[in-house]
Amino acid sequence: MLNTIVLIRTDNFDKALTALADLVRYGGMKIRGTPRIIPPALSDWAFEQIVGEKPKKKVKAHVVAQIDLPASKAIGRIRDIHPPAHIIVIPVGSPVHKELLRLWGTFKELKGFHPPKEIKRLENIENEEDLE
């Protein structure tokens, strides 16, 4: 089974690591395998293909990761969590997805990512809201 890919574009790799942890911790997603660093030109191309316009902001960190959710669910959850990075969801079967998978083995692994323990934080937040 193929996984949806997320492209994370941000100022530095610390923010990229935080964004990945947020996807797991608050978005309830599982990161499959190790996130990878991709070249800026490929990141800009992927952004343009998915978003339909050139990126307005130059960023220094370009990371891709495979997640366990369909694109539509991932987009909704990312909207809810506001991670410290621009995250683009790349649907399975799209030309960008196919190209990223083709090149996957050539990308350098992102060091320092350890998925946080899955936290029941969402349930706690919902329970607190019930109390109000």
Look at residue 2 in the predicted model and tell me its pLDDT: 80
Q: Give the model confidence (pLDDT) of 102-128 as tens digits.
A: 999 999 999 998 877 654 444 444 444
Helices (H) and strands (E) in the chain, counts: 5, 5
Topology of the domain covering 4-131 = Alpha-Beta Plaits (3.30.70)
Mean pLDDT, all residues of the chain: 87
**Which two tokens mark 62?**
């370009």
Q: Give the model confidence (pLDDT) of 39-51 as tens digits.
A: 999 999 999 999 9
pTM over 0.75: yes
| Alpha-helical runs (H) found in the chain | 13-25, 40-51, 71-81, 95-103, 121-131
